[in-house]
Amino acid sequence: MLDRLDAPAIRQWSIAAAAVLEEHRQEIDELNVFPVPDGDTGTNLALTVRAAADALALDASASASAALQAMARGAVLGARGNSGVILSQILRGLADEQGWRPSPPSEPSDDRGGVDRGEDDRGEEGTGEQFGEFGAASLQHGLRNAAERAYEAVNQPIEGTILSVVRAAADAAQTVRLHSGALADVVRAAAGAAADALARTPEQLPVLARAGVVDAGGRGLVLLIEALAGVITGTTPAATTSPPRLARSLDALSAEREIGSDEFAYEVQYLLEAGDAQVTLLRGDLAPLGDSLVVVGTGDGVWNVHVHVNDVGAAIEAGIQAGRPYRITVTRFADALPTDSPTADGTAPSTGRSATGPALRSGTAIVAVAPGEGLAHLFTAEGVVVVEGGPSANPSTAEVLAAVRSSGAAHVVLLPNASQIAGVAEAAAHEARVDGIEVSVVPTKSPVQGLAAVAVHDGQRRFDDNVVAMAEAAAATRWAEVTVAQRESLTSVGQCQPGDILGLIDGEVVVIGAAVGEVAGIVVDRLVGIGAELITVLIGRDAVSSDVETLLARLAASAPLVEVSVFDGGQPHYPLLIGAE
C-alpha cells in the first residue's frame, strides 16, 4: 500500500494502463455508435496511452513530477483521435504543477469542474506532504486540474461523455480527502465514482441509451484510473470485465447529431489579437451576420470570438479587418456529433524544436492528411506536404507536427481532412506555435473538401486571406462517402447489416443498398438535385471498375451538364469518395 507516488510507481502505472487499454481495445471499439469504419475510440485510447508509456520509458527522471510530465508530454504528442486528445489533456492536468501542488482542502467544484486551489506550495498541514511529492493532496488537486483541462479542451462540453466521468472522479477524490489523508482511500473513491458515472452516461446522452452502451471514452478513463488504484493499493484492478450494457432495442446504434441554430448553418470561432476600439467595431460588424455572438477578452489584447452565421467568409473577414485572427474553426451544425469534440488548448511543451528555427522560415505551406497513395499524389502535385493517415489509421500529433516543421514555412495551413483528426490537428498546431510557426487549421472533414480548399489557394494573397478563401471553399463543398457497414445498426434510413453498402452525405447515412455502383448513383442524384455543378469522384483501393462505370453512366444520362472529374484516390475502407460544388 503506497502513501506516495514516486517515479517507479508512475512507470508501473503507465505500463499497467497501456496493457489494460490494449486488452480492452476491441471491447471499447465496439461501443462506437456509428456503423462506418473510423478511428475507433478503443484503438485511439490504447495508442495514446502507449505513447505516454513509451515516452516515460525513455525518460530517466527521478521525481514523480518529472515522470508525470514526461508521460503527459508523450500522450499529447502521440494522441490519436478526439478521445486521445481529451485523455492527453487529463494526463496533462495530473502532471501540471498547479495540479500536483499541495494546498488546503477547497470548496466543491462548480459545474465546470473548477475550484479555488490556493497558492501555498510549502506543504499541507496534517498530510506530511511537501512540494513535489505526489500523495493524497496531489492526487485530489491533480484530478480537479485534469477535469478542468478536459472541459476547457472541448468547445461545447457535453455531459454523458468522458467529461462527466473525470469530473465525478475529481469530486469524489475531494470529498474523501476532506475526511481521510490516505492516498489509497482517495484513489479508490475516484475509481468507484468514475465507474458509477460511466454507468450513468446513457441517462445523460440519449444516443448511448438507444445503442445500449456506455460512453467509450469514459470506459477508457475508468480503466486508466483503476490501473492507478491497482498500483497504489497493490491489488489487481477490478475492471477486468466488460462494462454494463443496456438492453438493446431496434433503435440500437442510431446516432443523432446536434443541429444547432435552425436559421444559421455554421459556427465560426477564432482567437483575435486586437485593441478595444477595433473589437467594438467588430461586434457591430458581426451582429447583422448571425446570432449567438460572444466576444470575450483576456485583458491583454487577445479575444475569443464566437458567432453563428451563414456567411463564413464575412465572419472571418470581419476579424481580419479588426486585427489578427488565428486558430480559426468553422463547424457546420449538420455535421456536429453529440460526442466529445475537443480542441486542444494548453498542450504540453514539445520534446524538441524544429531544425528550422523561426528566423530561417519563410513563405506559406499547406499540410494535409491523405488516406491513400493516389490522394497523396494529388495533394503533392499541388505542392502540399502530406501526412499519411485516415480511417482506422489516424496520424499522431507528433506525425502531423513533424510535417508542419518539415515544411520550412513561417505560415502553415493545416487540413485534417477527417472529423476524427481535427483534435490531433489542433494539438499539432498549438505545438508548432511554440516554435513560432503561424498555423491555421481549416476544418476539412473529407479529402474532397481538402482538395477544394487547395484549389483556391493563391500564393500571391496574404496568409489570412488564403485561410478565409480555403475555409469558404471547404464549407461550400458537400461531401459523400460510399462504404461497407462494419456492424449491425439502425440508421436514419433503416437497419443495416454487416456487409451492406452505405451511402453517406455530410456524414449522415442516406441510403443502404447491396451494390457500390447503385448506392453511389443514388447519392450523386441527391447531390445533383441540390444544385451541384461539379462532381469529383475519388476511387478507393477496394473499388471495382464496373461500379465506377455504373456511376459515370448514370451521371451522363441524368446530369449531362454537370462537370465530372474522376481521380484514383487509393483510400481504404471507402470504395468511393464524392465531392459536390
How far apart, in Å, are the Cα atoms of 514 and each of 131, 167, 485?
64, 45, 11
Over residues 336-355, mean pLDDT: 35
Q: Looking at the predicted structure, is the pLDDT value of residue 253 above 70? A: no
Strands 266-273, 324-332: pairing is antiparallel
pLDDT tier, 329 (very low <50, low <70, confident <90, very high otherwise) = low
Side-chain half-sphere CA neighbours of 48 within 13 A: 33
Q: Looking at the predicted structure, is the pLDDT value of residue 185 above 80? A: yes
Over residues 7-18, mean pLDDT: 92
Low-confidence winner among 145-159, 235-249, 359-373 (lowest mean pLDDT) = 235-249
Q: Looking at the predicted structure, is the pLDDT value of residue 347 above 50? A: no
Higher pLDDT, 487 or 242: 487
What confidence score (pLDDT) does residue 423 get? 87
| Fold held by 261-335 | Alpha-Beta Plaits (3.30.70)
Give the number of other CB atoms < 10 A from CB of residue 1.
9
Q: Looking at the predicted structure, is the pLDDT value of residue 365 above 80? A: yes
- Every domain of the chain and the residues it spans: 7-233, 261-335, 351-476, 478-580
What confidence score (pLDDT) does residue 300 get? 64
CATH number of 7-233: 1.25.40.340
CATH code matching the domain that covers 351-476, chosen among 3.40.50.300, 1.10.150.120, 3.40.50.510, 1.10.760.10 = 3.40.50.510
Over residues 535-547, mean pLDDT: 91
Q: Which residues contact 27 (CB under 8 A, 6 or more apart)?
A: 42, 219, 242
Choose from 293-307, 319-333, 401-415 the range with maximum mean pLDDT: 401-415
User: Residue 341, SS3?
Assistant: coil
What confidence score (pLDDT) does residue 471 get? 93
- The answer to whether the pTM exceeds 0.85 is no
Residue at grid coordinates 455508435: 33
* CATH class of the domain whose range is 478-580: alpha beta
What confidence score (pLDDT) does residue 237 get? 55
What confidence score (pLDDT) does residue 345 get? 33
Mean pLDDT for the chain overall? 80
Q: Looking at the predicted structure, is the pLDDT value of residue 491 above 70? A: yes
Dihedrals φ, ψ of 438, to 5°? -85, 120
Q: Looking at the predicted structure, is the pLDDT value of residue 259 above 70? A: no
pLDDT tier, 519 (very low <50, low <70, confident <90, very high otherwise) = very high
Higher pLDDT, 534 or 116: 534
Q: Looking at the predicted structure, is the pLDDT value of residue 202 above 50? A: yes
pLDDT tier, 315 (very low <50, low <70, confident <90, very high otherwise) = confident
Alpha helices by DSSP H, listed for 437-564, are 447-455, 463-475, 516-529, 545-558
Over residues 106-135, mean pLDDT: 47
What confidence score (pLDDT) does residue 108 get? 44
Cα angle, residue 205 at apex, residues 203 and 207 outer, rounded to 5° = 115
What confidence score (pLDDT) does residue 106 get? 44
Dihedrals φ, ψ of 211, to 5°? -80, -15
